[in-house]
């Protein structure tokens, strides 16, 4: 059996935040809903899904590549650090 903060698994199942991956999640929920579940520990309400979808769409303007994502995460996490400002330049 494998156990993390996000999921558990055994020989016959995978459970993500208390939901069976195959029976409850795959084919029933969107990528956006799953992202919300992983971050907020619950399924989103429809307005929350729309807002998160809009945020994900705006990220596409910069593309999905490691340097862009790391830079954004660092800027959000450490906005007052000079090293982050230099990295954004």
Q: Where are the domains of the chain?
A: 2-63
- 75 C-beta neighbours (distance < 10 Å), count: 14
Higher pLDDT, 64 or 29: 29
How far apart, in Å, are the Cα atoms of 79 and each of 18, 62, 70, 87, 88? Answer: 34, 19, 13, 12, 11
pLDDT attached to residue 77: 74
Unique residue bearing structure tokens 């998160």: 52
pLDDT score, position 5? 78
Average pLDDT, the chain: 84
3 pLDDT higher than 80: no
Rg (alpha carbons) of the chain, rounded to whole number:
17
Number of helices and strands in the chain (H, E):
4, 4
């Amino acid at each position: 059996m494998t156990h993390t903060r996000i999921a558990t698994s055994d020989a016959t199942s995978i459970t993500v935040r208390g939901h069976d991956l195959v029976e409850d999640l795959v084919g029933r929920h969107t990528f956006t809903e799953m992202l919300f579940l992983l971050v907020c520990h619950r399924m989103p309400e429809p307005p929350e899904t729309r807002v998160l979808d809009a945020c994900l769409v705006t990220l596409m303007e910069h593309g999905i590549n490691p340097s862009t994502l790391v830079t954004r995460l660092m800027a959000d996490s450490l906005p007052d650090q000079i090293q982050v400002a230099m990295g954004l330049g």
